[in-house]
Structure 1
Amino acid sequence: MSQDQHARTHAHTRESVTLDPGVIKKRNDLITWYFDDSLIAEITGDQSKICTDDQCKERFRDRLKLDHQTGSLIITNTRNTDSGEYKLQINNSRFSVIRSFSLSVTAVPDPGPSSAAIAGISVVRVICAVAAVVLLLASAAAVIYCLYRSKQQRKYYIQLIEEDVTEQMSPNQRTVTPQRDDDNETETELMATDNGTSPSET
Protein backbone atom coordinates (compact mmCIF):
# COMPACT_ATOMS: atom_id res chain seq x y z
CA MET A 1 0.00 0.00 0.00
CA SER A 2 1.29 3.43 -0.94
CA GLN A 3 0.14 6.80 0.34
CA ASP A 4 1.17 10.21 -1.06
CA GLN A 5 0.28 13.41 0.78
CA HIS A 6 1.44 17.01 0.42
CA ALA A 7 1.68 19.67 3.14
CA ARG A 8 2.72 23.33 3.17
CA THR A 9 4.79 24.76 6.01
CA HIS A 10 5.89 28.31 6.71
CA ALA A 11 8.62 29.56 9.03
CA HIS A 12 10.61 32.67 9.80
CA THR A 13 14.39 32.77 9.64
CA ARG A 14 16.26 31.56 12.74
CA GLU A 15 13.28 29.44 13.82
CA SER A 16 13.16 25.64 14.07
CA VAL A 17 10.84 23.61 11.85
CA THR A 18 9.74 20.01 12.34
CA LEU A 19 8.53 18.04 9.31
CA ASP A 20 6.40 15.27 10.83
CA PRO A 21 5.50 12.15 8.79
CA GLY A 22 2.22 11.73 10.68
CA VAL A 23 2.54 7.96 10.83
CA ILE A 24 3.71 5.50 13.48
CA LYS A 25 7.27 4.44 12.82
CA LYS A 26 8.11 0.76 12.93
CA ARG A 27 11.46 -0.59 14.00
CA ASN A 28 12.33 -2.03 10.59
CA ASP A 29 11.14 0.98 8.58
CA LEU A 30 13.52 2.56 6.12
CA ILE A 31 13.02 6.32 6.25
CA THR A 32 14.64 8.63 3.72
CA TRP A 33 14.40 12.39 3.42
CA TYR A 34 15.05 14.34 0.22
CA PHE A 35 15.48 18.03 -0.50
CA ASP A 36 14.84 18.96 -4.13
CA ASP A 37 15.35 15.25 -5.00
CA SER A 38 18.73 15.08 -3.22
CA LEU A 39 19.13 12.66 -0.32
CA ILE A 40 19.76 14.56 2.94
CA ALA A 41 18.90 12.08 5.75
CA GLU A 42 18.20 8.43 6.31
CA ILE A 43 17.08 6.20 9.20
CA THR A 44 17.53 2.43 9.10
CA GLY A 45 16.53 0.71 12.30
CA ASP A 46 18.59 2.39 15.04
CA GLN A 47 21.10 3.83 12.59
CA SER A 48 20.87 7.24 10.94
CA LYS A 49 22.79 9.26 8.39
CA ILE A 50 22.59 13.00 7.79
CA CYS A 51 24.16 14.89 4.91
CA THR A 52 26.51 12.32 3.53
CA ASP A 53 27.57 14.52 0.58
CA ASP A 54 29.44 17.84 0.54
CA GLN A 55 26.62 19.77 -1.09
CA CYS A 56 24.22 18.88 1.73
CA LYS A 57 26.82 19.68 4.36
CA GLU A 58 27.51 23.06 2.78
CA ARG A 59 23.82 23.95 2.61
CA PHE A 60 22.63 22.87 6.06
CA ARG A 61 25.86 23.00 8.13
CA ASP A 62 24.81 20.70 11.01
CA ARG A 63 21.33 22.20 11.23
CA LEU A 64 19.47 18.95 10.47
CA LYS A 65 18.31 16.52 13.14
CA LEU A 66 16.29 13.28 13.07
CA ASP A 67 13.76 12.05 15.58
CA HIS A 68 14.26 8.26 15.70
CA GLN A 69 10.91 7.64 17.36
CA THR A 70 8.73 9.49 14.85
CA GLY A 71 11.05 9.77 11.84
CA SER A 72 10.56 13.54 11.82
CA LEU A 73 13.12 15.85 10.22
CA ILE A 74 14.03 18.92 12.29
CA ILE A 75 15.63 21.98 10.69
CA THR A 76 17.15 24.40 13.19
CA ASN A 77 18.09 28.04 12.71
CA THR A 78 16.26 28.18 9.41
CA ARG A 79 17.43 30.34 6.50
CA ASN A 80 15.88 31.62 3.31
CA THR A 81 17.88 29.02 1.38
CA ASP A 82 16.02 26.26 3.24
CA SER A 83 12.87 27.06 1.28
CA GLY A 84 11.90 24.32 -1.19
CA GLU A 85 10.41 20.88 -1.57
CA TYR A 86 11.09 18.16 1.00
CA LYS A 87 10.03 14.55 0.39
CA LEU A 88 9.79 11.67 2.86
CA GLN A 89 9.68 7.98 1.93
CA ILE A 90 8.89 5.24 4.42
CA ASN A 91 9.41 1.71 3.17
CA ASN A 92 8.91 -1.66 4.82
CA SER A 93 7.81 -5.11 3.82
CA ARG A 94 4.12 -4.24 4.07
CA PHE A 95 3.69 -0.76 2.63
CA SER A 96 5.33 2.39 1.29
CA VAL A 97 4.46 5.94 2.36
CA ILE A 98 5.39 9.15 0.61
CA ARG A 99 5.01 12.59 2.17
CA SER A 100 5.80 15.89 0.48
CA PHE A 101 6.41 19.17 2.31
CA SER A 102 6.64 22.58 0.73
CA LEU A 103 8.65 24.80 3.09
CA SER A 104 8.70 28.59 2.80
CA VAL A 105 11.14 30.52 4.97
CA THR A 106 10.84 34.30 5.17
CA ALA A 107 12.76 36.95 7.05
CA VAL A 108 11.61 37.96 10.51
CA PRO A 109 9.63 41.23 10.35
CA ASP A 110 11.52 44.17 11.80
CA PRO A 111 9.79 44.94 15.12
CA GLY A 112 11.35 48.40 15.21
CA PRO A 113 13.20 49.80 18.19
CA SER A 114 12.47 48.09 21.49
CA SER A 115 11.04 49.90 24.48
CA ALA A 116 14.46 49.74 26.14
CA ALA A 117 16.08 51.33 23.10
CA ILE A 118 13.41 54.05 23.01
CA ALA A 119 13.93 54.69 26.72
CA GLY A 120 17.68 54.90 26.16
CA ILE A 121 17.20 57.39 23.32
CA SER A 122 14.91 59.48 25.53
CA VAL A 123 17.48 59.52 28.33
CA VAL A 124 20.21 60.60 25.92
CA ARG A 125 18.01 63.40 24.60
CA VAL A 126 17.26 64.61 28.13
CA ILE A 127 20.96 64.56 29.02
CA CYS A 128 21.82 66.51 25.87
CA ALA A 129 19.10 69.07 26.64
CA VAL A 130 20.33 69.50 30.21
CA ALA A 131 23.92 69.84 29.01
CA ALA A 132 22.84 72.51 26.51
CA VAL A 133 21.02 74.46 29.22
CA VAL A 134 24.01 74.24 31.57
CA LEU A 135 26.32 75.40 28.81
CA LEU A 136 24.00 78.30 27.99
CA LEU A 137 23.83 79.34 31.66
CA ALA A 138 27.60 79.10 31.97
CA SER A 139 28.04 81.28 28.90
CA ALA A 140 25.57 83.84 30.24
CA ALA A 141 27.33 83.87 33.61
CA ALA A 142 30.69 84.42 31.88
CA VAL A 143 29.29 87.36 29.91
CA ILE A 144 27.77 88.92 33.04
CA TYR A 145 31.05 88.48 34.93
CA CYS A 146 33.02 90.12 32.12
CA LEU A 147 30.62 93.08 32.05
CA TYR A 148 30.88 93.41 35.82
CA ARG A 149 34.67 93.33 35.73
CA SER A 150 34.72 95.89 32.94
CA LYS A 151 32.44 98.19 34.92
CA GLN A 152 34.59 97.82 38.04
CA GLN A 153 37.72 98.60 36.06
CA ARG A 154 36.12 101.73 34.59
CA LYS A 155 35.19 102.90 38.07
CA TYR A 156 38.74 102.25 39.25
CA TYR A 157 40.30 104.22 36.39
CA ILE A 158 37.87 107.11 36.85
CA GLN A 159 38.77 107.24 40.54
CA LEU A 160 42.48 107.31 39.71
CA ILE A 161 41.94 110.18 37.25
CA GLU A 162 39.92 112.16 39.78
CA GLU A 163 42.59 111.68 42.45
CA ASP A 164 45.31 112.74 40.01
CA VAL A 165 43.38 115.88 39.05
CA THR A 166 42.79 116.72 42.69
CA GLU A 167 46.49 116.38 43.50
CA GLN A 168 47.38 118.66 40.60
CA MET A 169 44.88 121.35 41.67
CA SER A 170 45.90 121.61 45.36
CA PRO A 171 49.28 123.42 44.87
CA ASN A 172 47.65 126.07 42.72
CA GLN A 173 45.07 126.71 45.37
CA ARG A 174 47.85 127.15 48.00
CA THR A 175 49.73 129.62 45.73
CA VAL A 176 46.73 131.87 45.15
CA THR A 177 45.95 132.33 48.87
CA PRO A 178 49.25 134.05 49.83
CA GLN A 179 48.92 136.47 46.94
CA ARG A 180 45.61 137.70 48.37
CA ASP A 181 47.23 138.26 51.83
CA ASP A 182 50.10 140.30 50.32
CA ASP A 183 47.64 142.53 48.53
CA ASN A 184 45.80 143.23 51.81
CA GLU A 185 49.08 144.08 53.59
CA THR A 186 50.08 146.45 50.79
CA GLU A 187 46.75 148.29 51.01
CA THR A 188 47.19 148.62 54.79
CA GLU A 189 50.66 150.14 54.38
CA LEU A 190 49.42 152.66 51.86
CA MET A 191 46.55 153.73 54.06
CA ALA A 192 48.88 154.18 57.01
CA THR A 193 51.26 156.37 54.97
CA ASP A 194 48.42 158.57 53.88
CA ASN A 195 47.37 159.09 57.49
CA GLY A 196 50.93 159.91 58.60
CA THR A 197 51.34 156.87 60.71
CA SER A 198 53.68 153.95 60.37
CA PRO A 199 52.42 150.50 59.77
CA SER A 200 53.67 149.39 63.16
CA GLU A 201 51.59 152.00 64.90
CA THR A 202 48.60 150.74 63.18
Structure 2
Amino acid sequence: MTPSLCYLSMLYVSLITYVKIQARANKKYWGGSIPWISARYFTDEHTIKGSEPITEEGLNNSSSKIAPKNSTILITRVSVGKFAIADKDYAINQDLTALVLKKSNINNQYLWLISEIVAERIQKNATGIGVVGVTRDFVIKQEIPLPDLETQTQIVAQIEKEQALVNANKELITLFEQKIKDKIASVWGEDSTAKEEIPA
Protein backbone atom coordinates (compact mmCIF):
# COMPACT_ATOMS: atom_id res chain seq x y z
CA MET A 1 0.00 0.00 0.00
CA THR A 2 1.32 3.43 -0.96
CA PRO A 3 1.67 5.63 2.16
CA SER A 4 -0.29 8.86 2.29
CA LEU A 5 1.49 12.18 1.97
CA CYS A 6 1.34 14.74 4.72
CA TYR A 7 2.41 18.38 4.92
CA LEU A 8 4.83 19.14 7.73
CA SER A 9 2.50 21.94 8.83
CA MET A 10 -0.07 19.27 9.74
CA LEU A 11 2.38 17.45 12.01
CA TYR A 12 3.99 20.22 14.00
CA VAL A 13 2.96 22.81 16.53
CA SER A 14 5.39 25.27 15.04
CA LEU A 15 8.87 25.84 13.78
CA ILE A 16 10.94 26.83 16.77
CA THR A 17 12.48 30.26 16.37
CA TYR A 18 16.19 30.79 16.85
CA VAL A 19 18.49 32.15 19.48
CA LYS A 20 20.44 35.17 18.32
CA ILE A 21 22.77 36.35 21.04
CA GLN A 22 24.22 39.66 19.95
CA ALA A 23 26.96 40.35 22.47
CA ARG A 24 29.37 37.42 22.43
CA ALA A 25 31.75 39.48 24.54
CA ASN A 26 29.08 39.84 27.23
CA LYS A 27 30.11 37.32 29.87
CA LYS A 28 26.62 37.45 31.38
CA TYR A 29 25.30 35.60 28.34
CA TRP A 30 27.91 32.86 28.02
CA GLY A 31 29.29 30.08 30.20
CA GLY A 32 26.02 28.94 31.73
CA SER A 33 24.30 25.56 31.70
CA ILE A 34 22.11 25.83 28.58
CA PRO A 35 23.61 24.12 25.50
CA TRP A 36 23.54 26.34 22.41
CA ILE A 37 24.27 24.96 18.95
CA SER A 38 24.95 26.13 15.42
CA ALA A 39 25.50 24.26 12.16
CA ARG A 40 29.11 23.50 13.09
CA TYR A 41 27.94 20.93 15.64
CA PHE A 42 26.10 18.75 13.12
CA THR A 43 27.84 15.54 12.06
CA ASP A 44 27.58 13.67 8.77
CA GLU A 45 25.80 10.92 10.72
CA HIS A 46 22.93 13.34 11.51
CA THR A 47 23.78 13.70 15.16
CA ILE A 48 24.81 16.68 17.29
CA LYS A 49 28.33 16.67 18.68
CA GLY A 50 29.22 19.43 21.09
CA SER A 51 27.67 22.78 21.99
CA GLU A 52 28.45 26.12 23.63
CA PRO A 53 27.01 26.99 27.04
CA ILE A 54 24.82 30.05 27.49
CA THR A 55 23.14 31.46 30.57
CA GLU A 56 19.48 32.02 31.40
CA GLU A 57 20.11 35.74 30.93
CA GLY A 58 21.57 35.08 27.50
CA LEU A 59 18.55 32.98 26.59
CA ASN A 60 16.07 35.53 27.91
CA ASN A 61 17.77 38.38 26.05
CA SER A 62 17.40 36.66 22.71
CA SER A 63 14.51 35.98 20.35
CA SER A 64 14.58 32.40 21.46
CA LYS A 65 12.81 29.24 22.34
CA ILE A 66 14.35 25.90 23.19
CA ALA A 67 14.37 23.08 20.65
CA PRO A 68 13.24 20.21 22.88
CA LYS A 69 14.73 16.76 23.12
CA ASN A 70 13.63 14.44 20.27
CA SER A 71 12.73 17.33 17.98
CA THR A 72 14.23 17.29 14.50
CA ILE A 73 16.60 20.17 13.75
CA LEU A 74 17.27 21.23 10.16
CA ILE A 75 19.96 23.56 8.88
CA THR A 76 17.93 26.01 6.80
CA ARG A 77 20.53 28.73 6.24
CA VAL A 78 24.18 28.85 5.07
CA SER A 79 25.39 25.22 5.49
CA VAL A 80 22.09 23.76 4.29
CA GLY A 81 21.51 20.07 3.74
CA LYS A 82 22.12 18.62 7.20
CA PHE A 83 19.73 17.62 9.95
CA ALA A 84 19.83 15.92 13.35
CA ILE A 85 17.58 14.70 16.12
CA ALA A 86 18.03 16.56 19.40
CA ASP A 87 19.41 14.21 22.05
CA LYS A 88 18.54 16.84 24.67
CA ASP A 89 17.11 20.35 24.88
CA TYR A 90 19.10 22.88 22.83
CA ALA A 91 19.04 26.60 22.18
CA ILE A 92 19.64 27.05 18.44
CA ASN A 93 21.10 29.82 16.32
CA GLN A 94 19.61 31.65 13.34
CA ASP A 95 20.73 29.07 10.77
CA LEU A 96 18.66 26.28 12.31
CA THR A 97 14.99 25.38 12.40
CA ALA A 98 13.53 22.86 14.85
CA LEU A 99 10.35 20.90 14.25
CA VAL A 100 8.15 19.93 17.19
CA LEU A 101 5.54 17.22 16.88
CA LYS A 102 1.91 18.27 17.07
CA LYS A 103 0.31 14.88 16.62
CA SER A 104 1.02 11.39 17.89
CA ASN A 105 0.68 9.70 14.51
CA ILE A 106 4.38 9.90 13.74
CA ASN A 107 7.37 8.23 15.34
CA ASN A 108 10.20 10.62 16.28
CA GLN A 109 12.83 8.27 14.90
CA TYR A 110 10.88 7.83 11.66
CA LEU A 111 10.67 11.60 11.32
CA TRP A 112 14.42 11.85 11.85
CA LEU A 113 15.04 9.28 9.11
CA ILE A 114 12.58 10.82 6.64
CA SER A 115 14.00 14.29 7.27
CA GLU A 116 16.78 13.45 4.84
CA ILE A 117 14.22 14.02 2.07
CA VAL A 118 13.39 17.47 3.44
CA ALA A 119 17.07 18.33 3.95
CA GLU A 120 17.82 17.44 0.32
CA ARG A 121 14.98 19.69 -0.86
CA ILE A 122 16.30 22.52 1.28
CA GLN A 123 19.74 22.09 -0.25
CA LYS A 124 18.36 22.09 -3.81
CA ASN A 125 16.07 25.09 -3.27
CA ALA A 126 18.29 27.32 -1.12
CA THR A 127 18.68 30.78 -2.62
CA GLY A 128 20.44 34.02 -1.74
CA ILE A 129 23.54 36.08 -2.39
CA GLY A 130 26.26 35.43 0.16
CA VAL A 131 23.93 33.81 2.67
CA VAL A 132 21.82 31.06 1.12
CA GLY A 133 18.81 29.39 2.65
CA VAL A 134 15.09 28.73 2.57
CA THR A 135 12.20 30.30 4.44
CA ARG A 136 10.41 28.54 7.25
CA ASP A 137 7.28 28.73 5.13
CA PHE A 138 9.09 26.59 2.55
CA VAL A 139 9.82 23.99 5.24
CA ILE A 140 6.27 23.58 6.51
CA LYS A 141 4.93 23.18 2.98
CA GLN A 142 7.03 20.07 2.38
CA GLU A 143 5.24 16.76 2.01
CA ILE A 144 6.57 13.53 3.49
CA PRO A 145 5.33 9.93 3.19
CA LEU A 146 3.33 9.00 6.27
CA PRO A 147 2.50 5.30 6.71
CA ASP A 148 0.70 4.07 9.81
CA LEU A 149 2.58 3.98 13.11
CA GLU A 150 3.17 0.23 12.99
CA THR A 151 4.83 0.52 9.59
CA GLN A 152 6.90 3.49 10.76
CA THR A 153 8.13 1.43 13.72
CA GLN A 154 9.02 -1.48 11.43
CA ILE A 155 10.95 0.83 9.10
CA VAL A 156 12.90 2.33 12.00
CA ALA A 157 13.69 -1.12 13.44
CA GLN A 158 14.91 -2.42 10.08
CA ILE A 159 17.12 0.59 9.43
CA GLU A 160 18.56 0.46 12.95
CA LYS A 161 19.33 -3.23 12.42
CA GLU A 162 21.09 -2.47 9.14
CA GLN A 163 22.98 0.43 10.71
CA ALA A 164 24.18 -1.83 13.52
CA LEU A 165 25.47 -4.25 10.88
CA VAL A 166 27.24 -1.41 9.06
CA ASN A 167 28.85 -0.24 12.30
CA ALA A 168 29.97 -3.79 13.12
CA ASN A 169 31.50 -4.12 9.66
CA LYS A 170 33.32 -0.80 10.10
CA GLU A 171 34.83 -2.11 13.33
CA LEU A 172 35.78 -5.36 11.60
CA ILE A 173 37.40 -3.47 8.72
CA THR A 174 39.37 -1.33 11.16
CA LEU A 175 40.50 -4.45 13.01
CA PHE A 176 41.66 -6.19 9.83
CA GLU A 177 43.37 -3.04 8.55
CA GLN A 178 45.36 -2.90 11.77
CA LYS A 179 46.23 -6.61 11.50
CA ILE A 180 47.42 -6.07 7.94
CA LYS A 181 49.57 -3.13 9.04
CA ASP A 182 51.01 -5.19 11.90
CA LYS A 183 51.78 -8.08 9.55
CA ILE A 184 53.45 -5.81 7.01
CA ALA A 185 55.53 -4.27 9.78
CA SER A 186 56.48 -7.74 10.99
CA VAL A 187 57.43 -8.95 7.50
CA TRP A 188 59.39 -5.78 6.83
CA GLY A 189 61.27 -6.28 10.05
CA GLU A 190 62.18 -9.86 9.11
CA ASP A 191 63.29 -8.79 5.62
CA SER A 192 65.47 -6.07 7.06
CA THR A 193 67.18 -8.57 9.37
CA ALA A 194 67.71 -11.02 6.51
CA LYS A 195 69.30 -8.33 4.36
CA GLU A 196 71.71 -7.43 7.12
CA GLU A 197 72.85 -11.07 7.41
CA ILE A 198 73.78 -11.36 3.69
CA PRO A 199 77.58 -11.22 3.42
CA ALA A 200 79.17 -8.52 1.29
User: The TM-score by the shorter chain falls in which range?
Assistant: under 0.3
What is the TM-score when the length of structure 1 is the normalising length? 0.25
Q: TM-score, normalised by structure 2?
A: 0.25
Choose 1 or 2 for highest CA Rg. 1
Q: Whose strand proportion is higher, 1 or 2?
A: 1
